[in-house]
Amino acid sequence: MSCKNVIVEEKFSELEHFIDELPDKQGDLIAVLHKAQEIFGYLPEEVQLRIADKLDVPSAKVSGVVSFYSFFTMKPRGKHVVNVCTGTACYVRGAEKLLNELNKHFAIKPGETTKDGEFTLDALRCVGACGLAPVMIVDGKVYGRLKPEQVKGILANYR
């Protein structure tokens, strides 16, 4: 077994251990998917199949659930995730301009990842920090009351 496979197998056994501990396996599909995405970073087909197998549900059901919820992604994410809040409060305080600036900066659209795999850009619905609108969230850290010109400087810290 190659080194990479060992790592992947370790991840799978972590996931399977999590599933074994669950009281009600089938009703907990969404919790399992949350866990799997936490472990693997995304939910490729291979992971979905293993989950279907382990929970004893049709794989079509698993992929149906994955595709329904926007939180789940089948594409690998970048090393850093840059989110722009597009809730109503941020929208009226200029979120669109932030997003445009980021589109330009990375040359990608929301939902995409830069070619070097460093950054994923995404739009989020209201993180509830409306007092700080408009906000950008990089790897969970919130930057508030942002002007488009500030974006470049902040992102430089993540290079």
Partner 1 sequence: MSKIASLNELSKLKNKFGPLIQIRQENEKTIITNTDVIDNSFKIHVLACGGTGCQSSESELIVRVFQRELEKRGLANQVKVITTGCFGFCEQGPILKIHPDNVFYIQVSSKDVEEIIDEHLIKGQVVERLLYVEPIHQEKLKTDLPFYNRQLRIALRNCGLIAPEDIREYIALDGYQALGQVLTEHKPEDIIDTIKKSGLRGRGGGGFPTGVKWELTRKSAADQKFIVCNADEGDPGAFMDRSILEGDPHSVLEAMAIAGYVIGASKGYVYIRAEYPLAIKRLQIAIKEAREYGLLGGSILGSEFSFDVELKYGAGAFVCGEETALIHSIEGKRGEPTVKPPFPAENGLWGKPTSVNNVETFANIPPIILKGADWFANIGTEKSKGTKVFALAGKVNNVGLVEVPMGTTLREIIFDIGGGTKENKRFKSAQTGGPSGGCIPAHYLDIPIDYESLASIGSMMGSGGLIVMDEDDCMVNVAKFFLEFTVDESCGRCTACRVGTKRLHEILTKITEGKGTLEDLDKLERLALIIKDTSLCGLGQSAPNPILSTLEYFRDEYLAHILDKKCSAKVCSNLVEYDITDLCCGCTLCARNCPQNCISGSPRNKHVIDNNRCIKCGVCLDNCRFDAVIRK
Does position 81 bind partner 1 by CB under 8 A? no
- Of the candidates 6, 88, 107, 158, which one interacts with partner 1 according to CB under 8 A? 88
Residue the block writes with tokens 């599933």: 19
Nearer to partner 1, 136 or 155 (CB): 136
- Of the candidates 71, 111, 117, 139, which one interacts with partner 1 according to CB under 8 A? 71
Residue span 112-151 as binding mask against partner 1, x where in contact by CB under 8 A, dash where not: ------------xxxxxxxxxx-x-----xx-x---xx--
Q: Nearest approach, Cβ of 79 to partner 1 (angstroms)? A: 20
Beta 141-143 vs 119-124: how paired, if at all? unpaired
- Of the candidates 89, 108, 138, 154, which one interacts with partner 1 according to CB under 8 A? 89
Does position 80 bind partner 1 by CB under 8 A? no
Nearer to partner 1, 8 or 30 (CB): 30
Residue the block writes with tokens 């866990």: 35
Q: Scan residues 37-66 and list those touching partner 1 (CB under 8 A).
A: 61, 64-65
Site size with partner 1, rule: CB under 8 A? 39
50's tokens: 């293993």
